[in-house]
Homo-oligomer: A and B are copies of this chain.
Amino acid sequence: MKALVYNGSRDVTVKDVPDARIEQPTDVLVRITTTNICGSDLHMYEGRTDLEPGMVLGHENMGEVVEVGSGVTRTQVGDMVCLPFNIGCGFCRNCEDGLTGYCLTVNPDPNMAGAAYGFAGMGPFWGGQAELLRVPFGDFNCLRLPDDAREKENDYVMLSDIFPTGWHCTRLADMRAGDSMVVYGAGPVGLMAAYSAMIQGASQVMVVDRHPDRLKLAEQIGAIAVDDSKGDPVEQVLELTRGKGADKGCECVGYQAHDPQGTEDAAMTMNNLVKSVRFTGHIGVVGIFLPQDPGAPDELARNGKIAFDQGLAWFKGQKIGNGQANVKAYNRQLRDLIHMGRATPSWIVSHELPLSQAPEAYRNFDARDEGWTKVLLKPGMTA
């Protein structure tokens, strides 16, 4: 089959690899119809992880079931399904608690919790930027889609990662209807966090970023754009909230946070959130932070640490929730919102391309070229 293979830093190619296939009785095999490029793919693309050459990338996948193992009960050939980026077993303690992002079974590393497709450190599972994808524990991991799956494909594919990830951030922040919310970062995940907040009845959603195209997308869903290149974002947020700060906050940037001048400071958004969120407020953190980051600019960051404003966070009585989304905790309900016409997360899609054009798309996306917000690859599309 054709697949997008990682060869090394900033070097990916589409080439023939052995077909993905059923390996275990509980596996499902999916022909990919849409697979997105994610911001976290860029960490690997840029060579800042220990990903080994030869890996097939792609963890935002959807497609049609073409084969099922003998131990598969529910999923059937012909089903249109969307796959959570995290792979769970369904029976470990964390999966049972709905914490499928921290599955204790699937990742072969016994000191790790959590597995994913085509992801450094998350097990040997090939990604879906390919024609076929093997889905372990298929009954547990396949989200079946209704009969408008093809028609709303660009919406449904967002259920694989960024829509649930944005939603998760609002849940980590314990957002409730009527709350004001500040989101740091207007990339695809930040925009989805803002969108999730709107859907759940936030009274006011502020999105901090500096890219005009992204801020414009935020405004399209009724959020307030806060341009941090035009002044201290904390002060802007305080002004918008009568000096109190937002009720809740979302971190959607992660360890590569940098100021408008480009200086990297992994603590920047976290400390700004502590200041931007009111006494007793909650902060959700889905931007990625890493336990080690050998390429980081300073000693603290190399050890995964940040100079965190614990004194102020404690003083304000804030709660902080961290970590990747447990996609399965949300993907059913978000699917239903899409199906009933109450959510259309595809509004951020900027490009739909055949798989063959993936290398070029990686280049453009990595360069943060204007307008390259979200790229969808369609393995079945002819170039």
A285 to B316, CA, bound (A): 12
The yes or no answer to A220 lying at the interface (CB within 8 A) is no
Which one of B200, B304, B317, B319 contacts A309 once the chains associate, using CB atoms below 8 Å? B304
Which one of B69, B101, B140 contacts A317 once the chains associate, using CB atoms below 8 Å? B101
A140 to B280, CA, bound (A): 20
Interface size, A (range): 35 or more
Which one of B113, B199, B293, B311 contacts A304 once the chains associate, using CB atoms below 8 Å? B311
Chain B residues, Cβ within 8 Å of A267: 310
Chain B residues, Cβ within 8 Å of A30: none
A319 to B169, CA, bound (A): 12
Give residues 314-334 of A contacting B (CB, 8 Å): 314-324, 328, 330, 332-334
Q: A73-B105, A203-B342, A319-B319 are in contact. Are A93 and B332 (CB under 8 A)?
A: yes
A324 to B313, CA, bound (A): 11
The yes or no answer to A1 lying at the interface (CB within 8 A) is no
The yes or no answer to A383 lying at the interface (CB within 8 A) is no
A315 to B25, CA, bound (A): 31
User: Are the CB atoms of B310 and A316 closer together than 8 Å?
Assistant: no
Chain B residues, Cβ within 8 Å of A293: 311
Chain B residues, Cβ within 8 Å of A92: 74
Chain B residues, Cβ within 8 Å of A200: 177, 200-201
Interface residue ranges, A against B (CB under 8 Å):
24-26, 69-71, 73-74, 89-94, 96-99, 101-102, 105, 113-114, 139-140, 172, 176-180, 199-204, 255, 266-267, 270, 279-280, 285, 288-293, 300, 303-324, 328, 330, 332-334, 336-337, 339-340, 342
Known interface pairs A94-B279, A307-B308; 8 further A-B residue pairs with C-beta atoms within 8 A, sorted by A's residue number: A73-B91, A101-B317, A203-B337, A288-B314, A289-B313, A305-B311, A306-B311, A319-B320
